[in-house]
Structure 1
Amino acid sequence: MASDNTKLYSILAYIGPLFLVGLLADKDNPRVKFHVNQGLVLLLAWLAVWVAALILDILPIGTLIPNLIRWIGGIVYLVLAVLGILNANNGVEKELPFIGHISLIK
């Protein structure tokens, strides 16, 4: 049963703020902690892209560029989240491309 929870918490880590479930429920499990960190970094990167697009919305440059940034950022988030979920489902601790080297949770 513990391995099922490990897999569940690891998968939930890549679905937005649901990383908190694994962080609170199984914080001492190294596999869960790895995936929670990856999910948190992914969420923060997506939020940074969203805030950057929001700032560009304020500038008088039109809406095309901010909307493209949001659209591309959303697709990248989705691709990386699916990749992370597949890794978590397979029990693999593989860093996500571009952002996986960042460690926020020790």
Structure 2
Amino acid sequence: MTTMQEQLNQQNDPADVEKNKVMGILAYIIFFIPLIAAKDSRFAMFHANQGLVLFLAAVAVNIVGSIIPVLGWFFILTLGNLLIFVFAILGIINAAKGEMKPLPLIGSIKILK
């Protein structure tokens, strides 16, 4: 039995991965760059989707954290944004290694096709 990650990595085109590693990395900083520059790349689009989901999670954390006074400011904003930062670093590492590995907790959400 293979995991989702193994299935994704088996379907990688090595030339596509090598050509679009930078786009995969940029997807976690500014998710829409690969949507414009590498829309035909399966690798870049996977990481653009992960970057978009991460961005939406960051927006949600910041909205919820600002609505809830005191506890939200100290706990939700601090811990939530730290978690978002860690997930972004994990995504950048995966893209740099040429892997299509979903992020923990939110990686299974598909917005882009």
Q: What TM-score range do you get, normalising by the shorter chain?
A: 0.7 to 0.9
How many equivalent residue pairs? 99
- Is 1:13 matched up with 2:27? yes
The two structures, once aligned, show a CA RMSD in angstroms of: 1.7
Could you tell me how far apart the structure 2 residues matched to 1:13 and 1:68 are? 27
1:5, distance to aligned residue in structure 2 (A): 4.9
Partner residue in 2 for 1:60:
none
Taking structure 1 as the reference length, what is the TM-score of the superposition?
A: 0.86
Q: What TM-score does the superposition give when structure 2 sets the normalisation length?
A: 0.81
Q: Of the candidates 68, 71, 75, which is equivalent to residue 56 of structure 1? A: 68
After the TM superposition, list the runs of 4 or more consecutive aligned residues in structure 1 that deviate by more than 3 angstroms. Answer: 2-5
**Gaps in structure 1 of 5+ consecutive residues:** 58-62
Q: Give 5+ residue unaligned stretches, structure 2.
A: 1-15
What is the alpha-carbon distance in structure 1 between the residues aligned to residue 85 and residue 62 of structure 2? 14
2:38 matched to which residue of 1?
A: 26
Amino acid at match of 1:74: N
